[in-house]
């Protein structure tokens, strides 16, 4: 099986999340709100999966594919190596995973911020590889 470049794969997740919102999100141009929280949640979860995929590749936190890695495990490994990335991941966790992925906040500004945050995390990780 061909090994994928983690940076390219993470960017593919971002592209997929963007497509979800653009093609299905039904943005109200007047209020700058997406009409269906379901697609915001799907986009947020897709973005966060891309971030986690990349963090797994860079930090090798996952010891066994059968066990679940907790966010604290990622934070601990990241703090040891790059404080700025740690701040990005902490903020990304809140914005992408919790506010977009769980809450489905329909604000375009929140979603745009989540996409920027995911791209910033990817860019920062690219420097570490």
Q: What's the pLDDT at 81?
A: 95
Q: What's the pLDDT at 1?
A: 46
In a domain, 1, yes or no: no
Does the pLDDT value for residue 116 go beyond 80? yes
**58: containing domain:** 6-128
Distance in angstroms (rounded) separating the CA atoms of residues 29 and 40: 16
In a domain, 110, yes or no: yes
Mean pLDDT value across the chain: 94
| pLDDT tens per residue across span 24-74 | 989 999 999 999 999 999 999 999 999 999 999 999 887 777 788 899 999
Domains in the chain: how many in total? 1
Question: Residue 27 sits in a domain of what CATH number?
Answer: 1.20.120.330
Q: What's the pLDDT at 62?
A: 78
H-state helical runs in the chain: 6-24, 37-59, 71-81, 83-92, 108-128
In a domain, 70, yes or no: yes
Helix (H, G, I), strand (E, B) or coil at 90: helix
Q: What's the pLDDT at 3?
A: 66
In a domain, 117, yes or no: yes
Enumerate residues 6+ apart whose C-beta is below 8 A from 12: 50
């Amino acid at each position: 099986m061909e090994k994928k470049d983690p940076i390219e794969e993470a960017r593919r997740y971002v592209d997929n999340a963007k497509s979800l919102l653009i093609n299905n999100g039904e943005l109200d141009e007047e209020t700058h709100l997406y009409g269906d929280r379901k697609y915001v949640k799907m986009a947020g979860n897709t973005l966060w999966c891309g971030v986690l995929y990349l963090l797994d590749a860079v930090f090798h936190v996952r010891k066994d594919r059968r066990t679940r890695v907790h966010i604290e495990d990622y934070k601990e490994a990241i703090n040891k190596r790059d404080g700025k990335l740690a701040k990005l991941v902490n903020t990304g966790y809140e914005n992408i995973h919790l506010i977009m992925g769980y809450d489905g906040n329909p604000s375009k500004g929140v979603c745009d911020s989540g996409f920027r945050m995911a791209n910033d995390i990817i860019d920062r990780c690219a420097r570490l590889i």
